[in-house]
Structure formats: structure tokens, C-alpha cells
Amino acid sequence: MDRAATDVNRPTLIKKQTLHDQVADSVRDLIIEGYLEPGTRIDETALVEQLGVSRTPFREALRTLAAEGLVIIRPSKGAVVRKLSSQDVLSMLEVLAEIERLAGKLTIKRASQAELDELLALHDEMMAYYADRDRLPYYKLNQKFHSRLAELSGNDTLREVQSNIQARLKRIRFIGNRHEDSWSGAVADHEQMAIAIREKDGEKLGDVLAGHLMATWDRVKNTF
Amino acid sequence: MDRAATDVNRPTLIKKQTLHDQVADSVRDLIIEGYLEPGTRIDETALVEQLGVSRTPFREALRTLAAEGLVIIRPSKGAVVRKLSSQDVLSMLEVLAEIERLAGKLTIKRASQAELDELLALHDEMMAYYADRDRLPYYKLNQKFHSRLAELSGNDTLREVQSNIQARLKRIRFIGNRHEDSWSGAVADHEQMAIAIREKDGEKLGDVLAGHLMATWDRVKNTF
DNA sequence: TATGATTCTATTGTATACAAAATACAAGTA
DNA sequence: TACTTGTATTTTGTATACAATAGAATCATA
């Protein structure tokens, strides 16, 4: 789960990464980016061939992804990409809302002015892309904004849980922003966040974040 | 992460469990129960021998435990039992507090009367053991009370996150209850929970739960 | 034709074998 | 003595081989 942070802390030239980690990363991306659709069986033989590794590291990687909740391993019957029910998504958003509420409160309490400015810079950049209706970079910056907020909370467990849930939801949240009107609603939320950050009002920031996530639910719940 | 629930949902006679799952369970228990101390290297050869399995399922199990945050795999240098810093514990308790606050709110909102009664029954049983100062059964019932509460929230993600953090903290929380005075404090919290459940006051239940967990921090923070 | 037993095949689970890397150790040098 | 440098040993990483299981296909029978 903690992969991102540890990689970052390692000098980039010496990329000591074991094969099953690389495989886990690859397959994770395949799932998150939708190349492996939810519900589809993971064809060990085919993917092993495609990735050019043997079954051993591949299966170890699968176990990791299973623990992360991205795949389900059915004993003797192969692994499938986890399919999220509307219940699943609701439960994740409920938890994520409280996680980010806490992130907001802690970040205001603990982050330095420079760090808060960094968040605001991300926000401004997002808004610029919104002005151009440039969806993909907006989406990416949005992810980054929330991740960075979690980091600045100074709470590693929070960051880990947030990152895990975010990964599971990634595809679905992208869907949620497809309609212009819901997009503008999300943008309005983000403006409120920026205000709360400038005011250094942790409670308010937390409330806006939580509300923002539950609004995501309203946007996606009909797509099931 | 989801191990508990799936096991429960499977008829006990047909224990279709793959070897690496059993191994993961065994090693998890060894860690939680303190037979493998934090920081110690996990001797693959020795444990494989002791468990009577080959390295393949054992290593797969290790990957699972790594994703659960119980062990750290250092590439080419073996796995070690994760050692929690005081920072780690604080961050887990902060998150757990908000998770259980949510659990309290949702459970009051969603659980049936029979289910609430079940929680109250667990509570009464705990109190009986406290009256006898019988620590171990009290401790086990306490775990069960919190787990059951998370289940009754009707939110699977919540249950999963709670169960994972709880597993990581298990040993430490046991330490926290070693002193008579802090134990009585915990018991007082639990009486408040029972009252909130009877009153069906979700906010209050959530507050008490969160406070209870942060009080745990006060109890253990000096042991580092 | 439909049903059900029975093989056959494909896939998964586990063990072992081999390769690569890290660590421990020893000998030599300053 | 302290510090290299090289070698041996242990440990880890990966591939392959073999075993067990599930699912598909075949055939027989009603």
C-alpha cells in the first residue's frame, strides 16, 4: 500500500525494484486504467506471457492486489478483477469522506504556510484547466490535490487508507465528472476549499471535503 | 484484508482454504500474538520448515501480510516484522477514532433493535468480567464489541479498514490496559457507549468511541 | 433429446531447482 | 589496528516441473 512513498524516498538512479513489485504496478495500472474490466477473469498464462515473467512473481503480485482490494482470488478458480457494487462505492465514499474531513482538519493544524500555499497553487492550476474545460489535466491535478492534502496531514495511516480507497474508486470518479453541470458543482466545492485554506479554517475545510465526496455519490449513483 | 468475513460466510466443514491463506493466517497470528517480535527478521527457511510448507505459498503469504502492513519486505534482504513508532500508533489511533465515530453514527441509524441488544449484551458480559478483574476475556470481548459495531454499521469498507488497523494495533492495545486505573477509565467509556446505544444517540456514541480511542493514546504513548 | 456419468483438457496450486544477490569471513595491505 | 579486497556461504529471487482440481467435452443410457 505504501509503495508510492518508499519509491520516492529512494534515489531515482538506483531503482531497486523486485520483479513482483513491477508486476503489481503494471497490473494495478491495467486495472485502474480500465484495460482489465471489472468482473473479467485474469488470465494468468496470457498476462504472464505478455509481461514476460514467470508465474511465480506474477502470482505474488496478485496476492498484493488482492490484499489491496483490487482483485478477488477464488481458490482453484482463478482471480477476477473486483467489480464494485453500488453498495461498495457508497461504503467507500462514506469512509473517504470522513478520512478527508480529518485530513482537512489536520492539515490546517499541522502544515506550514509554504505547504498551504502549495495546495493553493495546485488549486489555481486546476481552475485554469477548468476555464479551458480541459478535462484530463484537471482530473489529474484533482487527484494530486487530494493526495497532497492527505500527505500534509502528517498522518501516514490516513495517507495510506486514502490512497488505497482512491485507487479502488479511480475509474468511477472519472465517470462522475463527465457531465458539465456536475463538474461545475465540483469546481464550486473546490473554491470553497481554497477559501477555507486561506482562512486556515480546518473545520470548514473538513466539512467541504466531506460534502464534496458525498456529492460524488449523487453524481455516480445512477450509473449502476 | 477481508479475510474475517469470507471465512465466516463459508460453512465451517468445507474449509476450502488454499495453503498460502492458511500460512498467512498462521504467520499473522504469530505476529499479533507476539511470538514474532517487531523488528525481527522473518527467517524464511526456518518458518517454512516449522510450518511444513514450501517456500512458494509462504512467500505469497508474506506479500499479503506486507500489503496489510504487518511486515516490511526489503528487496533482497528479507522481510521483517513491522515495528511501530509512536508516530505510527498515533496516526492509526487518529484514523481509527474517526472510523469508529462513523461506525457509531451509522450503526445507530441502520441497525435493528435486536442488533443493538446484541451489542448491549456484549457490553454486559464485558462488565461482568471487569467486576472479576478477569482481563483476558474482557479484552477479547472488547475486541468483539468494536468489531461487531463496525459490522453493524452496514459499511463494508469501514469494517475492513477497522479490522486492519485493529490487527496492527492489537499487541499495543493490550499493553494499554495493563494498569488498573486506565482500565477503569476504559470501562467508564464503555458505560457511556451503552447509554448512548440505549438512547439511540448516534452522535453521542460516535463521540464516546472517538474519545475512547484517543484516550488509548494517552495510555500507551509513554511506553515508547 | 435430455440427462448423467466419465474421461479429457486446461488451469491452478505447490514444490523444487537454479540464478542472483547480499552478507560474513578471511587474508592481505597500509 | 584499521581498512580494503576478494572469496565462500547463506539467503533471496525467479523459473520450471509436477500434482491436484475444476470445467469442458464425450459418450452412454433412458
Residues A32 and A66 in one domain: yes
- The C1' atom of C21 and the CA atom of A18 lie apart, in whole Å, by 12
Residues B111 and B208 in one domain: yes
pLDDT tens per residue across span B160-185 = 999 999 999 987 877 766 777 788 99
Q: Is the pLDDT of residue B128 over 90?
A: yes
Average of pLDDT values for A66-79?
A: 96
Residues A60 and A142 in one domain: no
- Strand D lies under 7 A from the Cβ of residue B94: no
Residue A221 has what pLDDT?
Answer: 84
Q: Is the pLDDT of residue A224 over 90?
A: no
Quote the radius of gyration of chain A (alpha carbons, Å): 19
Greatest mean pLDDT among A29-43, A142-156, B5-19: A142-156
According to DSSP, the β-strands at B41-42 and A79-81 are unpaired
Residues B116 and B32 in one domain: no
Nucleotide nearest to B56 (CA to C1'): C14
Average of pLDDT values for A180-189?
A: 89
Q: Is the pLDDT of residue A70 over 90?
A: yes
Residue B16 has what pLDDT?
Answer: 61
Average of pLDDT values for B203-218?
A: 96
Residues B154 and B69 in one domain: no
Q: Is the pLDDT of residue B12 over 60?
A: no
Residue A177 has what pLDDT?
Answer: 67
Last residue of a domain, one of A53, A81, A109: A81
- Strand C lies under 7 A from the Cβ of residue B17: no
Distance from CA of B203 to the nearest CA of A (A): 14
Compute the mean pLDDT over every residue in chain A, rounded to the nearest whole number. 90
Residue A42 has what pLDDT?
Answer: 97
Buried/exposed A69-108: b ≥16 CB within 10 Å, e otherwise? bbbbbeeeeebbbbebeeebbbbbbbbbbbbbbbbbbbbb
Are B63 and A20 within 8 A, CB to CB? yes
Residue B177 has what pLDDT?
Answer: 67
Residues B146 and B195 in one domain: yes
Instruction: State the Cα–Cα distance between residues B113 and B120, nearest whole angstrom.
Output: 10
Average of pLDDT values for A78-86?
A: 95
Nucleotide nearest to B57 (CA to C1'): C14
Residues A135 and A37 in one domain: no
- Strand C lies under 7 A from the Cβ of residue B53: yes
Are B99 and A101 within 8 A, CB to CB? no
The CATH number given to whatever domain includes residue B169 is 1.20.120.530
Q: Least CA distance to B59: which residue of chain A?
A: A60
Nucleotide nearest to A55 (CA to C1'): D15
- The C1' atom of D22 and the CA atom of B93 lie apart, in whole Å, by 44
Last residue of a domain, one of B55, B81, B107: B81
pLDDT tens per residue across span B22-76 = 999 999 999 998 899 999 999 999 999 999 999 999 999 999 999 999 999 999 9
Residues A118 and A76 in one domain: no
Residue B6 has what pLDDT?
Answer: 34
- The C1' atom of C19 and the CA atom of A58 lie apart, in whole Å, by 18
CB-to-strand D under 7 Å, chain A 58-87: 76-77
- Strand C lies under 7 A from the Cβ of residue A45: yes
- Strand D lies under 7 A from the Cβ of residue B76: yes
Nucleotide nearest to B54 (CA to C1'): C15
Residues A75 and A91 in one domain: no
- Chain C bases closer than 7 A to any CB of the protein: 11-17, 21-23
Residue B1 grid cell = 484484508
Number of H helices, E strands in chain B: 10, 3
Q: Least CA distance to A168: which residue of chain B?
A: B157
Q: Is residue B187 a contact partner of residue B130, using CB atoms and an 8 Å limit?
A: yes
pLDDT band at A218 (very low <50, low <70, confident <90, very high): confident
The structural domain count of chain B equals 2
Residues B76 and B90 in one domain: no
Say which residue, A10 or A28, is predicted with more confidence.
Answer: A28
Q: Is residue A79 a contact partner of residue A62, using CB atoms and an 8 Å limit?
A: yes
Q: CA A104 from chain center: how many Å?
A: 16
Residue A36 grid cell = 482489465
Only one residue has cell 511465480, namely A56
- Interface pTM, i.e. ipTM: 0.89
Say which residue, B158 or A179, is predicted with more confidence.
Answer: B158
CA distances from B84 to A80, A146, A152, A157, B128 (A): 34, 26, 20, 12, 33
Residue B63 forms contact with A (CB below 8 Å):
yes
Residue A172 has what pLDDT?
Answer: 81
From B23, B183, B1, B209, select the one nearest B105 (Cα to Cα): B209
Are A157 and B95 within 8 A, CB to CB? yes
Say which residue, A75 or B181, is predicted with more confidence.
Answer: A75
Tell me the count of A-B CB pairs closer than 8 A: 92
Last residue of a domain, one of A29, A52, A81: A81
Greatest mean pLDDT among A97-101, A181-185, A218-222: A97-101
Residue A222 has what pLDDT?
Answer: 82
Residue A133 forms contact with B (CB below 8 Å):
no
Q: Is the pLDDT of residue A27 over 50?
A: yes
Average of pLDDT values for B18-23?
A: 93
Residue B222 has what pLDDT?
Answer: 82
Contacts of B56 in chain A (CB under 8 A): 56
Residues B71 and B153 in one domain: no
Residues A54 and A164 in one domain: no
Residue B2 has what pLDDT?
Answer: 38
Q: Where in the sequence is the domain holding B170, given as residue range(s)?
A: 86-223
The CATH number given to whatever domain includes residue A70 is 1.10.10.10
Are B1 and A56 within 8 A, CB to CB? no
Q: At B129, which helix (H) or strand (E)? A: helix B113-131
- Chain D bases closer than 7 A to any CB of the protein: 11-17, 21-23
Residue B21 grid cell = 491463506
